[in-house]
Chain A
């Protein structure tokens, strides 16, 4: 599986650990979430007073957001609210934090790495580089950049948009006394860090300052409230569509099925073409790159399947936390058995022979 469902996690309740990976000595960290397969992770990082690092690159796309203090990158002083997207392989100038700083650092492809270099890797997609002070140099926009949209009272600053996957990184606020009475889920994973303030969701309760979540796709969240308002850093790993509904008890498989029903209704010809009957499914393009799931040809982006983020998303197993891994094994076994006996979808497919269905083996 990719990253598990971490929600809510309040990092302010945790202590920092010392970083021991080369290139990070002099910094401390807290892990917010980790992809246990490839090391992709989101961290809160504290660079201690006097932290210095020479120019260098890493082998993962990296996003940096300055929470407090000042981070010097070459001649530029990055203050609170500064956002950097550093494409994999692009060399960043020397970094220092004479008086220390706190950052959110998101390694999107693999574990934190550092290789000293003042030149870009030959394959670095340096045109993707972003460096902007999101507090000072970007205007707030209304929250209705997607439809169906959130209620009035949410404002956004779009920091980065990936044209291939439509993944987004954004700053958002909820106004005080914000209310939205619906339940939502998305096709994408969603991540958020509360820089300041609080919000509330019906499933998870309060998310205060320092609150964080990594929520895999198709998981219910909402209704929504914010008593005092909040400002947060948000991110999705692919296109965000708000599937709103009012059933508090639907599970991720039912939500996924409902999303597929949207496709059936809203793009019927595409749905029919993809899902042919009689053992001849379309498309039959670039299957060898992504295992069992065929990747359709795209005349505009013919080699998109090789894009690291596309590949990562396609390779994710999309199973939820393993049933036999939960704290209450008996309850999960009962749920699994009930699902089988009543024909209810329950979070894994049965096409493989990876487990038995004997009562003792649930």
Chain B
């Protein structure tokens, strides 16, 4: 096995452990706040999606770089019935 500096890391200090605990808890709060915030704009996002689906049929979908293709009706995606279809934070 090739050893790396990281393999010789000393045990975490008590200050670092306390920091990790504090920041882990804070991140949980931050994550939940983000989920709530994005749930709060769900209706607005639905209009953005509608606009996007309109744009790719009229102005075109960016395939790569500036190459665009107008998406025909038969290729348009349909919103699935599953409850997590509108989820954006994972």
Contacts and interface: CB of A to CB of B under 8 A. Distances in A.
Real complex partners, A and B?
A: yes
Interface of A: 4-9, 20-22, 31, 33-34, 36, 39, 41, 59-60, 87-89, 109-113, 115, 121, 123-125, 144, 147-152, 180-182, 202-205, 216, 219-220, 223, 242, 244, 246-249, 251-252, 289, 303, 306-308, 320-321, 326-327, 331, 334-335, 338-339, 342, 344, 346-347
A331 B83 contact: yes
Contact of A21 (B15, B26, B83, B87): B15
B26 to A, nearest CB: 7
Given A289-B1, A303-B2, A306-B4, 7 more contacts: A60-B6, A111-B19, A148-B64, A306-B3, A320-B90, A321-B31, A347-B90
Contact of A181 (B61, B65, B77): B61
Interface of B: 1-10, 12-13, 15-16, 18-20, 23-24, 26-27, 30-32, 34-36, 38, 41, 44-45, 48-49, 52-53, 55-56, 59-66, 68, 71, 77, 79-90
B6 A109 contact: yes
A115 B13 CA distance: 12
A11 to B, nearest CB: 10
5 contacts: A6-B31, A9-B30, A180-B62, A306-B1, A335-B87
Given A6-B31, A148-B63, A202 B45 contact: yes
Contacts of A204: 38, 88
A147 B68 CA distance: 15
A111 B21 CA distance: 12
Nearest to A302: B2
A335 B87 CA distance: 11
Contacts of A303: 1-2
A5 to B, nearest CB: 5
